[in-house]
Amino acid sequence: MEDYKIIYEGELEVGMTGTLSKRVTEEDVDTFAKVTGDYNPMHVDEEFAKKTQFHKRIAHGMLSAGMISACIGNKMPGPGAIYLNQTLKFDKPVYFGDVLVVTVKVEKIDQKAHFQIATLSTIVTNQDGVIVTEGTAQIMPARK
């Protein structure tokens, strides 16, 4: 069995952060369209996209949101965390070749009767430090 880095309930603290980065490729966008069935021509048709305000294809906003999920599940707090909800605001388009950096930060921890709920700020920036996606997530950290 693989060893996973997990921050368990009781170990998670306000202020903790996790990051993940990835370059967005045309293949990523095409695969996302196939998996989700979202073939909006803004994402998959160069000729259509040229006639829009972006002048070229853009990545699905939910691709950046999926990277938030990956950061939570793989980096902080890591495997076993349960993703409860997420608010999202798509501030700027993501283009092929952009390097996205996801940062999640623990803002609040609420102790319930039998579990904790942590509120995280979630920010995705591009290689220029421009926020492309932002929001708030709530998770349940893994229990030992």
Please state, in angstroms and rounded to a whole number, the distance separating the CA atoms of residues 136 and 138: 7
What's the pLDDT tens digit per position in 79-131?
Answer: 999 999 999 999 999 999 999 999 999 999 999 999 999 999 999 999 999 99
24-36: burial string, b at 16+ Cβ within 10 Å, e else: beeebbeebbeee
CATH number for the domain harbouring residue 89? 3.10.129.10
> What integer pLDDT is reported at residue 2 of this predicted model?
64
The reply to whether 11 falls in a domain is no
CB 116 within 8 A of CB 140: yes
Please compute the mean of the pLDDT values over residues 55-79 and round it to a whole number.
Answer: 96
List the domain range (segments joined by +) for residue 78: 17-140
CB 138 within 8 A of CB 77: no
The reply to whether 100 falls in a domain is yes
The reply to whether 4 falls in a domain is no
Angle CA 10–75–72, to nearest 5? 80
The reply to whether 12 falls in a domain is no
What's the domain count of the chain? 1
Among 76, 80, 90, which residue's Cα sits nearest to residue 19? 76
The reply to whether 9 falls in a domain is no
The reply to whether 115 falls in a domain is yes
pLDDT band at 144 (very low <50, low <70, confident <90, very high): confident
pTM of the predicted model as reported, rounded to 2 decimal places: 0.93
Please state, in angstroms and rounded to a whole number, the distance separating the CA atoms of residues 18 and 102: 8
The reply to whether 5 falls in a domain is no
DSSP type of residue 99: E
